[in-house]
Amino acid sequence: MKKSLLFLPVLLLMPLCPAGNGQSPPAALADDPFIAAVEAMKHSVAPLACLTLKGEDSTSLSRMGSAFFVTARGDFLTAAHIIAEMQKSERRCPVAAIILPKQGYQPKTLNEPAGWFPFQINSCMVNRVLDVAECRSIADLTKLLPDARITPVQFDWSIPPDGTQVAFTGFPFDSRDPMTLRAGVAAYRPIWRNEKAIDEVALDRGAWPGFSGSPVFRADGRVVGIVIKGLLDDRAQMAFFRPIAEIRLMLPRRPE
């Protein structure tokens, strides 16, 4: 594959259109543990975008999916099919980047300042069988954008039993703001690839387009998996995630 602007020598920080969504939860909902977990997760997720450059200006062509941070410097996990889609055409995706608000998510701010950071898409470690990719940040994002809180997720390595309540946070429908859906674990259903069983979990609600790559987490905020696909039709609405234990060896850090 030819090299392109995806291989930039340094990270660039440029203003973009508004990004984000962050409000303090109402006091009446303080007894719901998911509220705090969702607010905390907003500091761990980011959209992946395709940009085009013209001089010092950048324009977002499209937001391709969701990602979440696994290190404080900005390394992240996402779905492999998102990376594959971004790789398909340099013309469609001249610069692959991750987007962060400079001062947190402020939905009432029309032109909230945000920064974009290109990453070396061809250096992502991609596992197409698991549909998971781990991408390294070119530099420490916390130093380039000190006002942005980048919080790596914490993991629960177990597969949640049927009926467990979970949530997933991401950027569906090219959304500027992070959105969260809650769901119940419908079933653990291993699938077979090349005569090997691969863990997969079904949820009892659908994941909208753009949720791929989102973290799936419990009420305590610990991530148990990553959204890989959704099913939305007249017969059923379901989402599927890859348990985090299945992709443990892809992570750039060891478990706590």
- Examine residue 201 and state whether it is found in any structural domain, yes or no: yes
**What pLDDT does residue 56 have?**
61
How many Å apart are CA 16 and CA 60, to the nearest integer?
8
pLDDT, tens digit (0-9, with 9 covering 90-100), for 100-148: 887 777 777 777 777 888 888 888 999 999 999 999 887 787 777 777 7
Per-residue pLDDT reduced to its tens digit, 48-80:
998 887 766 667 678 889 999 999 888 999 999
Residue 21 belongs to a domain? no
CATH of the domain at 58: 2.40.10.10
Alpha carbon distance 241, 230 (integer Å): 9
Which residues, other chains included, contact 23 with Cβ-Cβ below 8 Å and sequence gap of 6+? 107
**Quick check: is 237 in a domain?**
yes
The phi-psi region of residue 221 (left if phi > 0; otherwise alpha if psi is between -120 and 50; otherwise beta) is left
- Same domain for 33 and 132, yes or no, is yes
> Are both 134 and 32 inside the same structural domain?
yes
Domain count for the chain? 2
Residues belonging to the chain: 256
Q: How many CB atoms lie within 10 A of CB 48?
A: 29
3-state secondary structure 133-183: EEECCCCCHHHHCCCCCCCCCCECCCCCCCCCEEEEEECHHHCCCCEEEEE
End-of-domain residue from the set 87, 112, 144: 144
Which of 146, 180, 166 lies closest to 22, judged by CA?
180
For residue 192, the model assigns a pLDDT of: 87
Provide the residue range defining the domain that includes 229.
165-250
Q: Is there a domain that residue 159 lies in?
A: no
Single pTM value for the model: 0.82
Task: Indicate the average pLDDT of the chain.
Answer: 82
Residue 151 lies in a domain: no
240: amino acid identity, one letter: F
Among the listed residues 226, 220, 218, 216, the one whose alpha carbon sits nearest the alpha carbon of residue 247: 226
Is residue 94 in some structural domain? yes
